[in-house]
Homo-oligomer: A and B are copies of this chain.
């Protein structure tokens, strides 16, 4: 097994290789620092055009970094030489809209009609804040960022429709403006917030999260909500499409793109 400290400052390519060779079965938190971590969704080509339109119409939850050729498991734009079937350490399999298990390798399941979608994720986002001198780690509560289904509707595309899933960070008041300004410069890591302040205004009770554990907002904190990469999974599940593979939470795909590459 490779150790976490060996991969923390490694290239994205080195991390993908460690995972491919089963030397790293863990999550990708803080690996290949400075590189953009991403969500993965693999769908049959028959659903790919509508899913792609969904992503284009909802760029905040679905910031596209790469869409593979049909049947091609390599993310040639975001990570040349990669293999989406082996370069993530854990995948989730959905069938007919329901979770149908987890695997650590997609090779046995991959077909010539599969299309891979690589979408920026909010792990990159914390790194962007840290890079700008904002102590993003200190804003975290527990191991997983709280995620909620909001009452904000996504723009539909074919069978894909439903509410926006949002992540919540309670931000100490003095940091709010700077956090907003920095995240707006990274649209491929979900960009600026979708809501600042009263959670009830977007149908959220911070203590009750459907997707994770909830959290308390302190008296000197402001709840700030960002579009979350869980959205396309939730929407695809709700549509009951026959088959979809995704990353497992925290087991992201490492791209060769850096924060500098995606800053606007």
**Which B residues lie within 8 Å of A67 (CB)?**
52-53, 56
Q: Which of A52-88 contact B (CB under 8 A)?
A: 52-53, 56-57, 64, 67, 69-70, 77
* Cα A57 to Cα B67 with chains together (Å): 9
- In-complex Cβ contact of A52 among B49, B77, B264 (8 A): B49
In this assembly, does A155 line the interface, its C-beta being within 8 Å of a C-beta of chain B? Answer: yes
Q: Are B49 and A77 in contact (CB-based, < 8 A)? A: no
* Cα A179 to Cα B161 with chains together (Å): 41
* Cα A264 to Cα B187 with chains together (Å): 10
- In-complex Cβ contact of A70 among B48, B49, B70, B115 (8 A): B49
Q: Are A77 and B158 in contact (CB-based, < 8 A)? A: no
In this assembly, does A176 line the interface, its C-beta being within 8 Å of a C-beta of chain B? Answer: no
- In-complex Cβ contact of A57 among B49, B70, B77, B264 (8 A): B77
In this assembly, does A8 line the interface, its C-beta being within 8 Å of a C-beta of chain B? Answer: no
Copies in the assembly, this chain: 2
0/1 string, A88-116, CB within 8 A of B gives 1 = 00000000000000000000000000010
Known: A157-B69, A264-B264. A56 touches B64 (CB 8 A): yes
In this assembly, does A239 line the interface, its C-beta being within 8 Å of a C-beta of chain B? Answer: no
In this assembly, does A45 line the interface, its C-beta being within 8 Å of a C-beta of chain B? Answer: yes
**Which B residues lie within 8 Å of A48 (CB)?**
49
Q: How far is the CB of A170 from chain B (nearest CB, A)?
A: 29
Q: Are B45 and A49 in contact (CB-based, < 8 A)? A: yes
**Which B residues lie within 8 Å of A57 (CB)?**
77
Give the interface of A toward B (CB within 8 A). 45, 48-49, 52-53, 56-57, 64, 67, 69-70, 77, 115, 155, 157-158, 264
* Besides the known contacts A49-B52, A70-B158, 13 further A-B residue pairs in the complex with CB atoms under 8 A apart: A45-B49, A48-B49, A49-B70, A49-B115, A52-B52, A52-B67, A53-B67, A53-B69, A56-B64, A56-B67, A69-B157, A69-B158, A264-B264
15 contacts between A and B (CB under 8 A): A45-B49, A48-B49, A49-B49, A49-B70, A49-B115, A52-B52, A52-B67, A53-B67, A53-B69, A56-B64, A56-B67, A57-B77, A69-B157, A70-B158, A77-B155
